[in-house]
Amino acid sequence: MIAAIAAAALLGGASQAAELQRPDAFAGIADQQARSLALFEEAGKVLTHPRCVNCHPAGDRPLQGDAMQPHQPPVVRGEADFGAPGMVCTTCHGPANYDAAGVPGNPAWHLAPIEMAWVGKSLGAICAQIKDPARNGGKSMAELVEHMASDELVGWGWQPGAGRTPAPGDQATFGALIDAWSQTGAACPSG
């Protein structure tokens, strides 16, 4: 019952935030730092959505579904973030969503490295983390923009299959927000 209420609350919030404003919606903010913060906060609707957070867990077990419940069956991160020997992610997750069984899929299915954990972090902490090459997979800002705008596994968030709420907006808009945020100084929210 509690999980159903949490899922309903999450879905309600997700449906209200289903749209993502394009970067030009923030052009009227004259102060560059304020515009950068506003751009990142808009992109944060995606970064904090279950489609992203589920694969960026703070521990060794991924989350799943709109209610962000611990993965069933119980699985662990394992070596290189692809699951434990004998139960790697691709044991169940194929190259595409298998809607008949409710199993999501992608050719590159895996967890984000532990240093990229977002669960339980504020948007400001996620911002600082994704800007830090020691905690973002060694990416420069240009590589980070490219990752957010073009990575196929990131793009899965907008094509999650039956029974899952897609991330807000679309990958092109999200990538454009991250690029505009980068171009305006990549300011992070406090806290």
End-to-end CA distance of the chain: 32
Q: Does the pLDDT of residue 2 top 80, yes or no? A: no
pLDDT (average), residues 124-137: 95
77 falls within a domain: no
The two counts, helices (H) then strands (E), for the chain are: 7, 4
What's the CA gap between 168 and 19, in Å, rounded? 5
Task: Indicate the pLDDT class of residue 138, thresholds 50, 70 and 90.
Answer: very high
| Closest C-alpha to 97, from 52, 147, 158, 45 | 158
Lowest mean pLDDT among 29-33, 134-138, 170-174: 134-138
137 in a structural domain: yes
Q: How far apart are CA 64 and CA 50, in angstroms?
A: 8
The pLDDT score that the predictor gives to residue 79 is 85
Asked whether residue 70 is assigned to any structural domain, the reply reads no
Whether residue 108 is contained in a domain is answered as no
Q: How many domains does the chain have?
A: 1
Q: CA 120 to CA 105: how far, in whole Å?
A: 25
106: in domain: no
pTM confidence score: 0.88
Instruction: Give domain status of residue 105, yes or no.
Output: no
Comparing C-alpha atoms, which of 111, 99, 117 is closest to residue 159? 99
Please state, in angstroms and rounded to a whole number, the distance separating the CA atoms of residues 50 and 20: 16
Q: Tell me, what's the pLDDT at 17?
A: 44
CA atoms within 13 A on the CB side of 22: 2
pLDDT at 18: 77
Per-residue pLDDT tens digits for 33-72: 999 999 999 999 999 999 999 999 999 999 999 999 999 9
pLDDT band of residue 191 (cuts 50, 70, 90) is confident
Portion of the chain with pLDDT greater than 70, in percent: 91
Domain-located, residue 131: yes
Confidence band of 6 (pLDDT split at 50, 70, 90):
very low
Task: For residue 49, tell me if it sits in a domain.
Answer: yes
**Cis link prior to 73 (omega < 30° from 0)?**
yes
151 is in which domain, residue-wise?
2-57+114-183
Q: What is the mean pLDDT of residues 85-95?
A: 93
Task: Report the percentage of the chain scoring pLDDT > 90.
Answer: 88
110, pLDDT greater than 90:
yes
Average pLDDT, whole number, for the chain?
Answer: 90
